[in-house]
Amino acid sequence: MRGSCTRTAVWAATVAVGVMSCAVNAATAAAPTTIAPLQGETTIEAYGDVAAWSDYDAAARSWHMVVRRAGQISTPPLPTSKKAIQVDVGPGPTGAPMLAYAACASSCHVVVANVDGSHPQTVPGSRGASHPTIWGDRVAWVSGAARIMTSRPNGSKRSMLGGLPRRLCLGVSTPHSQAACQYPAYPSVEALQLQGRRLALIDSFGAHEGPTEVRIEAVTGGPARLVARMTVGQSARTWLGPSWLDGKLYFYMQSLGAGTAAWAFDPAHNTYMKAPALEWLSGFSMINSRQAIVATGPGAGAECGEAGADPCLVQLSRRFAFKPSKPLLATPD
């Protein structure tokens, strides 16, 4: 604690106790802070002092939405679901935080609502939607497996974005050889995150062995920008996030073989930073330059709430120690 560990000239024993107290305080500050328990794996999104996720009610056998605002947790009066609810939180047209979530009955639609659940509005033309995201007067979602759509909340100005590349080129072209290019098999989009006129996405190709990528594209059109790529292989490698903060794109890498790390990419300067991490997560969203709000997963394939499995939690992460890094554009198996 600041001011409690000043060296004094009293007794050596007193100094030793003070040093031990400082070490304990430092360790406590470095540890994650638990916000809420979870009964199932879920993604999590944050904007300002608002975070949103979904949780499972075993008695009702359904998922409900959870919102944390200014430290207070509530359950908005919104329909429950048979599976985890995909929800995003971002500024609405007035700048106030709003929710964008996938409401699923016979099919899924994007719905936008105030953070207390009031005034829900279905986005016309969003049938079959997943991974909704909102920023200002724009929403975006995945239609089917890999088609990315965007519109205003009232359904106007609807358009399809470029999204995934039509051809996937691995390796680097040289004067003596060309990168191997192919039409990707089983492409899918795993996550979206809007900020202003930029959209970040996580994609994957192939069921098990194909690469997975982080990309950025403009909602006004044009080619997507490759930010990071790694092969999935046998190590269960995944990206989590993405989330925008102060113009930087943050995402989380985890692998059973290569460990875990938080990454930051600055598109204005084309620079990368990386921070070692310890936790196996199911959700990740940065809230300041050093910390994220996260949903912890149980790791080795067990489900939250299973007998003998570690519980899942919503936490404020330990502080990340970001340092400049080379880009991660390929990871060999």
Tell me the average pLDDT across 42-65: 95
pLDDT computed for residue 223 by the predictor: 80
Model pLDDT for residues 205-233, shown as the tens digit of each residue: 865 567 889 999 999 888 889 999 887 65
309: Cβ contacts below 8 Å, ≥ 6 apart: 298, 302, 303
In this prediction, what percent of the chain has a pLDDT beyond 70?
Answer: 77
Helices (H), the chain: 12-30
Give dist(CA 129, CA 251) in Å, integer.
23
Long-range contacts of 304-309 (CB under 8 A, 24+ apart): 304/38, 304/39, 304/40, 304/41, 304/56, 305/39, 305/40, 305/56, 305/58
| Residue-wise burial string across 81-113, b where 16 or more C-beta atoms lie within 10 A, e elsewhere | beebbbbbbbbbeeeebbbbbbbbeeebbbbbb
Model pLDDT for residues 256-305, shown as the tens digit of each residue: 766 799 999 999 999 999 999 988 899 999 999 999 999 987 765 566 76
Pick the closest to residue 47 from 2, 8, 4, 98 (CA basis): 98
So where are the chain's domains? 31-167+181-325
Of 7-11, 80-84, 234-238, 300-304, give the lowest mean pLDDT range. 7-11
119 falls in which pLDDT band (50, 70, 90)?
A: very high
pLDDT higher for 66 or 332? 66
pLDDT computed for residue 209 by the predictor: 63
Model pLDDT for residues 306-326, shown as the tens digit of each residue: 656 677 899 999 999 999 999
Q: What would the two tokens of residue 331 be? A: 């990871």
pLDDT computed for residue 306 by the predictor: 64
pLDDT computed for residue 14 by the predictor: 36
Whole-prediction pTM? 0.85
Model pLDDT for residues 132-191, shown as the tens digit of each residue: 999 999 999 999 888 999 999 999 999 999 877 766 666 554 444 455 676 667 788 999
Pick the closest to residue 150 from 121, 189, 192 (CA basis): 192
Give dist(CA 42, CA 240) in Å, integer.
11
Of 35-44, 224-233, 245-254, give the lowest mean pLDDT range. 224-233
pLDDT higher for 182 or 203? 203
Mean pLDDT (the chain, rounded) = 83
Q: Domain 31-167+181-325, what fold?
A: Neuraminidase (2.120.10)
